[in-house]
């Protein structure tokens, strides 16, 4: 009986499914490097340099905002108060 010729195996880089498996991690590495380069080239400060002054201004503006809500709070409290007869 003649034997069927055995298929010759190709090197690993000639198989498409190998590149499908390599593509995911490779894309993540490229994206990570791109993110690192962007982060180094344009840093975004977390705390503003004049944070104390901004905090004082917010503290001064807060009582005015509370006074603006006063009629709404009185209406809400009136609606929740039971009627007296």
Instruction: Give the 3-state DSSP-derived string for 29-45, with helices as H, strands as E and coil as C.
Output: HHHHHHHHHHHHHCCCC
> Which pLDDT value is given to residue 3?
75
Residues, the chain, total?
85
The answer to whether 60 and 67 are in contact (CB under 8 A) is no
Q: Is the pLDDT of residue 9 over 70?
A: yes
∠ CA 31-37-42, rounded to 5° = 125
For 10-44, the pLDDT digits (tens) are 888 888 899 999 999 999 999 999 999 998 998 77
The answer to whether 63 and 57 are in contact (CB under 8 A) is no
Q: Is the pLDDT of residue 79 over 80?
A: no
As a whole number of angstroms, the distance between CA 31 and CA 82 comes to: 62
């Amino acid at each position: 009986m003649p034997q069927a010729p055995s298929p010759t195996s190709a090197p690993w880089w000639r198989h498409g499914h190998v590149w499908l498996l390599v593509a995911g991690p490779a894309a993540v590495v490229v994206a990570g490097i791109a993110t690192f380069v962007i982060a180094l080239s344009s840093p975004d400060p977390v705390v503003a340099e004049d944070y104390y002054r901004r905090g004082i201004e917010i503290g001064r503006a807060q009582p005015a905002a509370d006074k603006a809500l006063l009629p709404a709070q009185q209406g809400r409290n009136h609606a929740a108060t039971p009627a007296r007869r």
